[in-house]
A and B are shown apart, each in its own frame.
Chain A
Amino acid sequence: MLHRLNPSLKLAGLIIITTGILIYPSWRFSGLLLLLTILGFKISNVPLDVSKRRIRFLVAFSALLFAFQVLMTANGTILFFIIPKYDSMGPFLPVTDFGVEKGFGMSLRFLLVVFSSMLFVSVTDPTLLAHSFTRFRIPYRYSFALVIALRFLPLFDMENKTVRMAQRSRGISISVRGMSRILRTIRYTFFPLLISALSRVDALSLSMDGRGFGYSKTRTYFRKSSWTALDSAALVLLLALLLTSILLTLGFLPQISAII
């Protein structure tokens, strides 16, 4: 369902969510938004495959952030010690309530930013996103840069693999012995890829000019997204969210900040 929303709105949503938790970094607030994000995955039918390596790495990393924060924070009410008292030694490494709160805050913030970005990428068509920028008076020349960059990324990835193979066939291996060696091998990857990319520039610009790119200040779009009532409603909700986070930080809503 999220697929149907205007791409610029989705970008605004991502920015507002990230900004919101920066302004008001409460862990409960981040947790609530994270739940909403996961809900977003469900209603858009985007699979969030927990068995995938990437997801497990992210969750593991957030647990690491949690542990790190807890260990580094010693103030607040002590809940327990990680290394208990033994004879006359210890106890060491206190775990405090404040530390646990900060820990949750950090790890949930991390998960929220990562998952909301993943959701954004899954439900947004980059071409439609680039085209929607014209609504904001951004010249199409610049928004096309986004499309072209995304179009050539898979190609550069493939070329990188070919250059690596070419290096191996010449006996060049990425060696870790000494800085000068590392710099040399970086140069052996950088220059062929750079030249290959630059060699495409002429042909690409002739191809685009040859199809009239730049003929006039405006152009039509074969596939374009529109702005619907649903988008306006969503924008209102997002702005309300932003406003709420600002008010919470400034302390204007004491009843709500007691809960969140």
Chain B
Amino acid sequence: MLEVHDVSFSYDNEKLILDSVNLQVRRGEIAMITGPTGSGKSTLALVLAGFIPRVIEGAFTGSFLIDGKNVEKDLISEIARKVALVQQDPESQISTLLVCDEVAFGPENYSVAPSDIEKRVEVALNAVGSSHLANRPTYALSGGEKQRVTIASMLAGKPDFLLLDEPSASLDPKGIQQLQKVLLGFKNNGYGILCIEHRLATILSIADRVLRLSKGRISKWSGKTSSIMTTPVEHFRRPDSAEPLLVAKGVSYCYGTISAVRDVALSVYPGEIVALMGDNGSGKSTLINLLAGLLHSTDGTTYLDGVPSIEMTAQEVAARVAVVFQNPNHQIFERTVQREQHLVFDVLDSLGKIPSERPDEVLLAAGLAELKERNPFSLSHGQKRRLNVSSVTVHEPLVYLFDEPFIGQDEVGRNFITQTIRKRSESGGAAILVTHDSAVATNLCSRIIFMERGSVLLDGPPKIVLNRLGEMGYGEYSVLGVMS
């Protein structure tokens, strides 16, 4: 059994992240910890894996026992033999060039004989259903494959306990189902599993026990769930005379020999909020970049406000679209939050009509006004996201294109982003969101475009599309996501 007694921890000796936490994880069970973003769940995972206080500094009190023995004096490499932590982002955990090398990495470090390593690699890859990936280079894996390889590489060390931090973060609904199967298999083989998830629905069905961590304190989960939005949007009626804001005609794009987007044609009209959905690898992000005029299609044309995007300069593009990418770090350019917010004024000349107080007003609405002088890279993930949204929508361009804006967002962030999107659509603009979340699609969007392997499979009102998806074998999309 893995236990922590009365554990309290603070990184800076001021703010208490964990407050007298008691927790046990037994072999052969799946325990789940849920709670709002930023509540200390990842910190708790680091404690249970032994990284706090051995590798990560801070004020730590309390005891940590494995199978009844206090492991205070053990080194991290000794604890790692018993407890394995799979972190949130698989990309940052892979350290070698081939999948088989990655899975063999753990046993190699413990000087296991090469013939035994071979067996362990086989068993571990089998357990996650990825034996066919053994000789694949690690850069050529999809997000879901990367995650399974990461789990396999942790398994190869033959730990007793497996901790997973937000395992569903990089997965599409199909990937989540596969993950559930894999975890159940582990449980039946006697592993003690702890999942940390703020998206309840993903693991709830297979969890034996659910606990809630909020403001550093742990408690039993009350069973209450809150859905993200409660007012479904009315059926959208497009004014007949409206010109489309965004048009794509026969648009295709290839990465080398791989065709990411095939012959897509669509139009987006004023007032629409579109959910762009599909499995990982179906071309959603590529399509967003093409529609925003950031990528030039190998075939076909995209028109922004009637002008072919290929003829536009960067400034013309920025004046018409607001794009938010998946990784907030990729789109922060200035030294302070304030300057980041004002960047659009430095860059675009045609903004005479925007009052100079606008940027600061939007910053206030985003809840970032007190952080004006901070370096934007030092903000939390959720805060960076909000800054991304506030800095690109300051001048209210025609079309908002957001790639997975709600991932890792707390309620404040979700509300701000939702309001921003709604405001734009109500005032004659449009928004396109890439999302996996059917609840978002139903409650916020007026239209779903579902992609499969680079082409548009379905395009229509949310309820109708989701029903059709259920009939076409994409039943996993009909399960509404719920938050804790």
A interface residues, Cβ below 8 angstroms from B: 126-127, 144, 147-148, 150-151, 154-155, 159, 162-163, 165-173, 187-188, 191-192, 195-196, 199-200, 203-216, 218-224
Contact = CB atoms under 8 A, between A and B. Distances in A.
A169 B309 CA distance: 12
B313 interface: yes
A210 B97 CA distance: 19
Given A148-B95, A211-B105, A218 B111 contact: yes
Given A162-B327, A207-B92, A222-B117, A212 B157 contact: yes
Given A191-B333, A204-B93, A169 B323 contact: yes
Nearest to B100: A222
6 contacts: A165-B289, A169-B314, A170-B318, A191-B332, A206-B55, A211-B105
A196 B317 contact: no
Contacts of B331: 163, 166, 169-170, 192
B117 A154 contact: no
A209 B318 contact: no
Given A195-B377, A212-B157, A162 B104 contact: no
A10 to B, nearest CB: 17
Interface in B116-143: 117-118, 121, 138-139
Nearest to B378: A195
A150 B97 CA distance: 8
B113 A220 contact: yes
Contacts of B322: 169
B173 to A, nearest CB: 25
Contacts of B201: none
Interface residues of B, number: 70
Contact of B96 (A147, A169, A173): A147
B77 interface: yes
A209 B313 CA distance: 47
B55 A171 contact: no
A162 B85 CA distance: 29
Contacts of B327: 159, 162, 196
B229 interface: no
A170 B92 contact: no
A46 to B, nearest CB: 18
B294 A210 contact: no
A216 B80 CA distance: 14
Contacts of A170: 314, 318, 331, 333, 343-344, 347, 392
Nearest to A158: B139
B85 A210 contact: yes
Contacts of B118: 222
Contacts of B88: 203
B80 A210 contact: yes
B192 to A, nearest CB: 16
Contacts of B373: none
Given A171-B318, A171-B319, A212-B157, A203 B95 contact: no
Contacts of A200: 89, 91-92
Given A127-B97, A165-B295, A195-B377, A220 B108 contact: yes
Contact of B101 (A165, A187, A223): A223
Contacts of A219: 108-111
A231 to B, nearest CB: 20
B315 interface: yes
Given A166-B331, A169-B321, A204-B93, A209 B315 contact: no
Given A171-B318, A222-B118, A211 B92 contact: no
Chain B contact surface mostly:
helix
B449 interface: no
B341 to A, nearest CB: 12
A171 B109 contact: no
Interface of B: 46, 49, 51, 55, 76-77, 80-81, 84-85, 87-89, 91-98, 100-101, 104-114, 117-118, 121, 138-139, 150, 153-154, 157, 289, 292-295, 313-315, 317-319, 321-323, 325, 327, 329-333, 343-344, 347-348, 377, 392
Contact of B109 (A147, A188, A212): A212
A165 B89 CA distance: 22
A240 to B, nearest CB: 34
Given A168-B318, A192-B330, A208-B105, 15 more contacts: A159-B327, A171-B344, A171-B348, A191-B332, A192-B332, A195-B329, A199-B329, A207-B87, A208-B95, A211-B153, A212-B157, A214-B109, A218-B111, A219-B111, A220-B111
A147 B95 contact: yes
A144 B333 CA distance: 32
Given A170-B318, A215-B109, A196 B92 contact: no
Contact of A169 (B92, B107, B292): B292
A204 B138 CA distance: 15
Contacts of A220: 107-108, 111-114, 117
A127 B95 contact: no
Contacts of A204: 92-93, 95
Contact of B85 (A196, A206, A214): A206
Given A192-B330, A196-B330, A211-B157, A222 B121 contact: yes
A159 B21 CA distance: 39
Given A168-B294, A210-B154, A224-B114, A127 B77 contact: no
Contact of A168 (B105, B108, B314, B319): B314
Contact of B92 (A147, A168, A203): A203
B332 A210 contact: no
Contacts of B293: 168
Contacts of B150: 207
Contacts of A147: 95-97
A206 B87 contact: yes
B186 to A, nearest CB: 17
A215 B91 CA distance: 24
B290 to A, nearest CB: 11
A169 B100 contact: no
B117 A167 contact: no
A224 B114 CA distance: 9
B81 A212 contact: yes
B330 A209 contact: no
Contacts of A191: 332-333, 377
Contacts of B317: 168-169, 171
A152 B323 CA distance: 26
A212 B77 contact: yes
Contacts of B95: 144, 147-148, 151, 204, 207-208
A211 B294 contact: no
